[in-house]
Amino acid sequence: MRIAPIAGVAALVLVVSSCGKSQDPAAPTASPSPVAQVTPPPTPTPPPAPAPTPDPFPGLAAGPVASVKAYLKSVESSHGSQQFRSPAKDANEVFTLYVGEFVTIDSTQRNRAGQVCRWNRNPVYFWDNFDDMMDVRDSPEPFFFRFLVTKPGFAQVTSKIDGIESNDVKMRAVVRPK
pLDDT tens sequence across 123-164: 999 999 989 999 999 999 999 999 999 999 999 999 999 999
Q: Higher-confidence residue: 9 or 71? A: 71
pLDDT digits (tens, 9 = 90+) for 102-122: 999 999 999 999 999 999 999
On whether the pTM is more than 0.85, the answer is no
Angstrom distances, CA of residue 23 to CA of 11, 27, 80: 19, 8, 103
Average pLDDT over residues 61-72: 97
**List of domains in the chain:** 67-174 (2.60.40.10)
Question: Quick check: helix, strand or coil at residue 12?
Answer: helix
Cβ neighbours for 27, distance < 8 A, ≥ 6 positions apart: none
pLDDT digits (tens, 9 = 90+) for 9-59: 444 444 444 455 556 556 566 666 666 677 777 777 777 777 776 767 788
